[in-house]
Copies of this chain bind each other. A is one copy, B any other.
Amino acid sequence: MQHTIQFKPDNITVPVEKGENLLTAAATAGVHINAYCGGDGVCGKCRVKIIKGEVRTEKSTLKQDDWDQGLRLACQTTVESDLVISIPEKTGDGSKSLKRKPKTTRNISAKSLDTLVGKWDTDPPVSKIYLQLDPPTIDDNISDMARVMRGFKNILPSNLEPTYDHPLLIKELAETLREADWKITLLLLHGKQDYEPDRIIDIEPGDTTDKLYGLAIDIGTTTCSGVLIDLNSGNILSEASGYNGQIRYGEDVISRIIYAARPGGLLALRNKIVSTINSIIEDICRDIIISPADIGYIMAAGNTIMSHLLLGLSPKYIRESPYVPSVSQFPLTKAAELGIHAHPSVRLFLYPCIASYVGGDIVSGVHACQIAKSEKISLFIDIGTNGEIVVGNNEWMVCAACSAGPAFEGGGIKHGMRASNGAIENFHIHPETFEPMIITIGRIKPSGICGSGLISVVSELLEAKVIDQQGKFKNHLDNVRIREGRDGWEYVLAWGKDSLIGEDIVITEVDLDNLMRAKGAMYAGYQTLLESVGLSFQDLDRVIIAGNFGAYIDLERAINIGLLPDVDRDIFYYIGNASMLGCQISLSDVKRFRERLHVRKLITNIELSENPEFMNYYMAALFLPHTDMSLFPSVQQKLI
């Protein structure tokens, strides 16, 4: 149910959902409220006065005097009706705040799926048919398998006779048929092409046509997740995820490749990813009470290194110039042969990769959002330690990987951390007092800064002119939060007393340098790719931001720092875990499933690592947002 909040004295009115947290609503609206403790309710800074309307709230650390005056802690308060509230701690006239418009990024995200991804059918690459066979007689004593085939042709007369290749299937066939009184269900895998026959994967006693499940797996370097789909209805029945068990051998793909070269390393990595997938299958099967053997098909996608490790292929040459993977189009594999707990004949389909650092997860994502079906030119971006970029349409696509470094995942940042509880994920700075408004994941005291928080912090510091466009602190500013620390100048996001770690949480010039390198690599990547096909940012019809990290990026701030191009906001789409989405779609719809190789073939890889063009663009991008401000007209406006 929708309500509105009017914030005074800024006079900003925004729509909110019932139950929304007031501090979050203010942050989304771009209304500054001092807040030091991330939303934990302990710093007592985020007091607001409820002028009109109903809220739910907790007194928390609020003094009785304040409570009696109608003050409430924004972080402890949720919306129950239309509200008018004022922010008493606010100093100044609020005019600076008024410049800001309410953020709309979450709205863009909400509209994305329908227009981009389109509809898909529930017509999966596997199906079941129920057969009631005539028992053999002396006048009709063809082999058991021939009887099954005849039964199949009776029901599907126009189809080619199916094949089968599963030794266990024919070993158990005679007993299965007789125990089931000649009433059986075939699990069929459809041919890759129409002229290819179906393949019998399993023969089950009785009528089991109502049990047909497919599993989509996204194999991330950090996290793996699985989604189980009822392939009769298309409904998602269960989801599960977990850390990739390989993490103990290194956080990023490079350290995994190094580990794989050690004696036994490849096998250890393979076993870890397999057991991670098995845990996901176990969780899902326990959740909805089915057996792993009931899963009829598995669609998976991962980057090139994860795909190699799952198949037990050495990733050695991926790391050495000229960066060559062993295989990019993976053979259809029986999941059980990899050690995955699945029916012995069930296939695991792994999305093809493009290059060593542009993997099946990207192909799956590009496939999901149908870039290959539209004349519109799309820029597809997956931001991370290894950033992947694809540009193109239904006629051509180019892609590149750029090594952005770990800043977006908290690496190389003094108080950087993964996006987990206690990470500062949203930040506002008061334009005059430079006091912070910090919101953490889990609304607890802050313990560090995650990638999306970092983008917020840097964008806010830049807009408030606490830092200049070179990412240096304007050290003439006389403010207690801006100081010279051990690593040079820094801004204190949270004092030790307000932080979970008991020490001051700061952002330093070294951190700013690392962030600039990361965002500069991404932006130079866009430029190099576009230039390679003779296009500019103005030619783009869509900018699609994929990835779990991407889903949490604030669009305006990402543009402010030069991570995303300064183009019409209406062409941005947030698609979230596109890789998983591609797997789900392929799993559900055989027509979409068959398009996947076409998508892969459209995409040409461009190597940036030794590309002089890229290096020039990169150097020019080491600025906030960029040395060429004509590329960022809207940011230039703000920085005047």
Contact = CB atoms under 8 A, between A and B. Distances in A.
Interface in A332-361: 332-333, 337, 353, 355-356
A507 to B, nearest CB: 37
Given A167-B311, A171-B312, A174-B317, A329 B141 contact: no
A326 B145 contact: yes
B141 A355 contact: yes
A313 B165 contact: no
Contact of A195 (B165, B195, B316, B356): B195
Nearest to A139: B607
Provide the main secondary structure of the chain A interface: loop
A70 interface: no
Contacts of A137: 322
A140 B323 CA distance: 10
B143 A324 contact: yes
Given A321-B138, A324-B141, A325-B144, A337 B165 contact: no
Interface in A578-617: 605, 607, 609-610
A165 B192 CA distance: 15
Contact of A331 (B163, B174, B605): B163
B141 A326 contact: no
Q: How many copies does the complex hold?
A: 2
A639 interface: no
Contact of A314 (B143, B174, B313, B323): B174
A144 B323 CA distance: 10
A393 to B, nearest CB: 23
A142 interface: yes
A116 interface: no
A129 interface: no
Contacts of A170: 311, 313, 326-327, 331
B167 A326 contact: no
Contact of A142 (B136, B146, B195, B328): B328
Top 7 closest pairs, chain A to chain B, by CB: A143-B328, A141-B322, A138-B322, A143-B325, A145-B327, A174-B326, A136-B324
29 contacts: A138-B322, A139-B607, A140-B322, A141-B322, A141-B324, A141-B355, A141-B356, A141-B605, A141-B607, A142-B324, A142-B355, A143-B327, A143-B329, A143-B353, A144-B326, A144-B327, A145-B326, A145-B329, A146-B329, A165-B331, A165-B332, A167-B311, A167-B312, A170-B311, A170-B313, A171-B312, A174-B313, A174-B316, A195-B195
Given A144-B326, A167-B311, A170-B326, 19 more contacts: A138-B322, A138-B609, A139-B607, A141-B355, A141-B607, A142-B324, A142-B328, A144-B325, A145-B327, A146-B329, A165-B331, A167-B312, A171-B311, A173-B326, A174-B314, A174-B316, A174-B324, A174-B326, A195-B195
Interface of A: 136-146, 163-165, 167, 170-171, 173-174, 195, 311-314, 316-317, 321-329, 331-333, 337, 353, 355-356, 605, 607, 609-610
